[in-house]
Structure 1
Amino acid sequence: MTSRVALVSSERGLRVDPDLPLAAPALREAGFAVDCVRWDDPAVDWAGHDLAVVRSCWDYAWRRAEFLAWADAVPRLRNDAGVLRWNTDKTHLRDVAAAGLPVVPTVWDPASTADLPDAEEWVVKPSVSAGSRDTARWTDPGDVMAHVAQLTAAGRTAMVQPYQASVDDAGEAALLFLGGRFSHAARKPPMLGRGEGVRQDRNGRRGVRPAPATPEQRELAQAVVDAVPSLLRGAAPLLYARIDLVADAAGRPVVLEVELTEPNLFLPQAPPEALSRLVRAVGDAIAA
């Protein structure tokens, strides 16, 4: 009997996600029936799918409660609802740091400039966000605190991190895992321009290119992926993960983002074998 897979997206994601036109045909060629659907489409019969795979659900950031309620109701979801609940709020970085893994230093809801991390530039973002929305890079501590005040006044948690200067030259290293195993890596160019303030139109896919991961980057990213089961007892194994790393002032890789909800997999920039790894990971999840 043919297994049916839902690749779950959003209204916009169905139109512009560059991974879907590669993932769906690869799964179909492997013998799966594939539906590309919106997570908020009431007509979808989730129980009729052997697996629902969260993909470009990019509107979750401003519909989080609704999104998580949906996830709780889907019987066979990867990544599963517990992972999504933890990962859709960046306060999960506290858990990653507490596990002994190096994370970009972060201050949560600073009350004054005295609370800011020691830096010449800072990044301010809400803990629930996607696509660098409501995020900015600042050189003036007063601008940092004004941005923090704007977020907290709206009932959001503000996070402040020192801007890592290495990003301007080296970008971010995005390491992709499929079925818990390293698949490929890419370089993400700088997204936050000095002095541009908050913007809502940044495109995290523009300028991404393949890039080899160093042994140190692979070791750290794998350690993050391997730590998730102990951080989330009872969660189903990860189908996919993207760990975004930057270099600190000493050149060492540190964790910037742990993307377990709806990360771009950068399949257009990936080697051909990445699609077979995705197909295998989906098959293994259905068989589990």
Structure 2
Amino acid sequence: MARIALASSASYVDDSELDLLRRAVGNLGHDVTVEVWDDDAVDWHDFALTVIRTTWDYTDHHDEFLAWTRRVPRLRNRSDVIAWNTHKTYLRDLARLGCPVIPTAWDVTDQDTLAKHAEAWGVDADATEWVVKPAVSAGSRDTARWTDTDDALTHSRALVESGRTAMLQPYVDSVDAHGETAVLFVGGELSHAVVKGAMLAPGEGIRDDRDSREKITPTTASDAQVDVARRALRAAGEALGGGLDLLYARVDLVAGPDGAPQVIELELTEPSLFLPYVDGAAERFASAVTSAVNSLGRV
């Protein structure tokens, strides 16, 4: 038996997926507790493995969170992976290394720059819907879908002026009809996939109450989707200079204009894994936790 910590934030210790995972790992004979990541009373050296899960307040405490990851021994995913993955400029690395990603521009604050990007992407700037979001964010916080370029630029400028990195992307129309496909890996192996329904309504601005809209449906990822997901993970490894030893990974994909999969996000930090939606998914994750403990050596 090993002591396992599932790291959470104070507001999400009662998350249903977290409880399912705690029970699945406990059923394998481990002593599993949920611990709040910024609780100074926790001695992380007491655990054979700490698994980052529902630490969803980290975006408000990014520097502190990264410092915490560097202090925790036997952390999964690793601190260098977290530092790279919590800033969405990682998309530039994926694109540079040949992985198909959704077109993205950074810190766009004027019409001329937006028009140049639109031309490069082969879209009509005035007829295109735009998504603007900060590069450090979780869920759809501070994210909006705009039908008017002036609104998109106003949002992007506000993020830049507040000291944040702003992302601007053309909205992918296929999401409205087909959603996003999340491809999940545990212990380096393909585990399951789900389809996530569209979250952003056109022109509604910034909202923090979209979670109730999320519709999740189990699916079987296509060969093309699995191939792109694996390419994203290989590119991540190359960007970080070697093997990542990932306990978990989620690759979110959309269908581009030609129908081919594109990466919209690579989630290696604290993603929802949609374990309740797929039979056996929690048990596969629990087995991967045991393998990670065995590879690290028990405390």
| TM-score normalised over the length of structure 2 | 0.92
Q: Secondary structure at the match of 2:284?
A: helix
**Is 1:127 matched with 2:135?**
yes
Which residues in structure 2 correspond to 1:28-177 (within 5 Å)? 28-116=26-114, 117=118, 118-119=123-124, 120-177=128-185
How far apart are residue 12 of structure 1 and its match?
1.6
Q: Is the 8 A contact 1:174 1:244 kept in 2?
A: yes
Q: One-letter code of the match for 1:224?
A: A
Task: Judge which range, 112-121 or 25-34, deviates more.
Answer: 112-121
Q: Name the SS for the 1:182 alignment partner.
A: strand
3-state SS in 2 of match to 1:19: helix
Q: Give the 3-state SS of the residue equivalent to 1:129 in structure 2.
A: coil
**1:28-66 deviation per Cα after TM superposition (whole angstroms, max 9, x unaligned):** 110111011110111111000000000010001111001
CA distance in 2, matches of 1:254, 1:223: 11
> CA–CA distance in 1 between the matches of 2:89 and 2:244?
21
1:64-113 deviation digits (Å, cap 9, x = unpaired): 00101111100110001101100000001000111100000001011322
Deviations 1:117-168 (A, max 9, x none): 3351110000001111110001111111100111011000000000000000
CA distance in 1, matches of 2:289, 2:112: 48
Measured at CA, do residues 245 and 152 of structure 1 come closer, stay the same or move farther in structure 2, by a change above 3 Å? same
**How many angstroms apart in 1 are the aligned matches of 2:258 and 2:30?**
47
Q: 1:126 to 1:204 in 2, by over 3 A?
A: farther
- Distance between the aligned counterparts of 1:41 and 1:135, measured in 2? 29
- Map of 1:228 onto structure 2: 236
CA contact (8 A) 2:93 2:235 kept: no
1:244 maps to: 252
TM-score by length of 1: 0.96
From 187, 192, 201, the counterpart of 1:179? 187
- Structure 1: 5+ residue stretches without partners: none
CA RMSD in angstroms comes to: 1.3
Tell me the equivalent position of 2:294: 287
User: Is contact 1:182–1:222 with CA below 8 Å preserved after alignment?
Assistant: no
**Letter in structure 2 aligned against 1:285:** A
Retained in 2: the 8 A contact 1:191–1:204? no
Q: Percent same amino acid at aligned positions?
A: 49
Q: Find the aligned partners of 1:235 and 1:68 in 2 and give their Cα distance.
A: 20
Aligned in 2, Cα 1:251/1:140: closer, same or farther, shift over 3 Å?
A: same
